A and B are shown apart, each in its own frame.
Chain A
Amino acid sequence: MTDKKTEEDMVILEGTNLNKTYRSAGRTVTPLREISFQLHRGEVLGIVGESGSGKSTLLRVACGLERPESGRVLAGERDLTGAGPSAAGKYMQMIFQDAGASFNSRHTMRWSLEEAIPAGADREQAKQQMRSLLRETGMSEDLLDRHPSALSGGQCQRMSIVRALLSGAQILLCDEITSALDVTSQAQVIRLLRELRENRHLSILFVSHDLALVSMLCDRVMVMKEGACVEEGETQKLIREPVHAYTKELLGAAESFAV
């Protein structure tokens, strides 16, 4: 029991005082201001906020697709700040909003999935793992010989998850992954993430503007506004008793939409 507790307390990904600024055509945009977060092993951390609040930038900085101006990104003991996506990819993989565009239309799904097998890994074993992951995610092997255009959005998104797991990463960075899907596919993807988290003890950073989804999936939620964290806490508590005015506003907007 103590061991399990310790394991769950382990911080698997940590961002400290991250700052990011873009300058273009004389304008300065600051999507990240002194933002810090901690993701524990097996935890789902939701990141909510309106468009332009810096949610996606935070994920891109975490996985090395963008370099922060200052601050640090740590995966366990390993400092990934400025190490680039190929170093970060060993620890985390990103699932993108546009599922169809996550795969090159010129290649088959098999080609794209095999591309994610790490260099130096036993390829036969990895292919076996690919087949078992397809079963786990409820997809037929026949889909492997198709091009992405012949798959539905939901199937592409589940394939993205299979690809991410094939790389051996223990952290998934999900960037609005259900916003382009129909309700049934949304439910399938969310169910899959829950199962994977249970079975594989994955850690997930879940960016979304859909508070209903966040409340279903996330253990903790971080609310972002203009690149800064305005409130953070355990999901149910934050939804029941929001402290910050912006969080109340977000919840109010979601409620009025639901009515």
Chain B
Amino acid sequence: MTTTLAAAKDRRAPWFSRLPIVAQLRRSVGLQRGMLITGIVICLVFLLGAIFAPIIAPYGFGQLSDDAGSFPRQAPPSSDHIWGTTVGGYDVFSRVVWGAQTAIAVVIVAVILSVLIGVTLGLVSGYLGGWLDRILVVIADAVYAFPSLLLAIVVSIVISGGQSSLVGGIVAAGISITVVFVPQYFRVVRAEAVRLKSEAFVESSKVVGSSTARIMFKHVLRNATRSLPLILTLNASEAILTLASLGFLGFGIGPTAAAEWGYDLNRALSDTASGIWWTGVFPGAAIVLLVLGVTLVGESLNDLADPRLRTRRRAKRRKAVTSASSDPAVGDDKTPGSTTAPEGGRA
């Protein structure tokens, strides 16, 4: 109930400040705000990189030669190839930039598909209950407990048989990841639907005689999907990792179809023995950074949505107090999380 109210609190604010992330940004303080902003900036950089890849990247992702002839293989960073070239003769920098496009495209496909399927199933299953619910729950739980990577491998075998074109590859990777995520959305939405089902406002609508469809869509759906933006960001980061892992195992998108960081890392693995670092470090760093950015956003949203985890600004007067007294964290038995306001007493 507290969360419901908190989330609805800003409804009268201008529309732009009610957008998921903007609203949270306004509410955040201190270090939490710092984490959120860092995350948003990283995500924006990658997004821009993906959109303007054709302009930023000096070469195509599958390009092996230019007017000056074939690219050298495993060449260290130089002015021609600022991050060097791979064992196959691709330009590392270009492939990293193009890779952002692939990663983001797959994430979008995966997230949209899994949200649509997961939300529908979760809503129906949670609200209607009965045998359908039970079966879906057991299935979702079984799939959920299974290592997601293995499942993604199986699905990608089924869909593409392992070989793929650009669009086909993106869709195949997206679907593989979707299968892993659907149970997650299903569980979250179902749990919400079950909770909302016994909320007074839903029961009150039932007493009035509203049809099941009306209750589900007017009352349950919108309230149940409120926490989705948050799960969505966190799952986006997992989608990037799953895509990279599939690529690493050779089930990603081939080098001529698109640039994919996991595939590049796979190829780079054998380079390490001879000390060739640039083929692996750059695509790897790209994965880490993008996941880091998305996760920072997700974690911050998570904290802000949970009253227990959220930091609030301290009461104003404290500022004056702390400037006089030294750091309150010094002392052998300081209180963490909550309690005791002895610091303020000296004012």
**A is bound by B:** no
Instruction: Spell out B's residues near A (CB within 8 Å).
Output: none
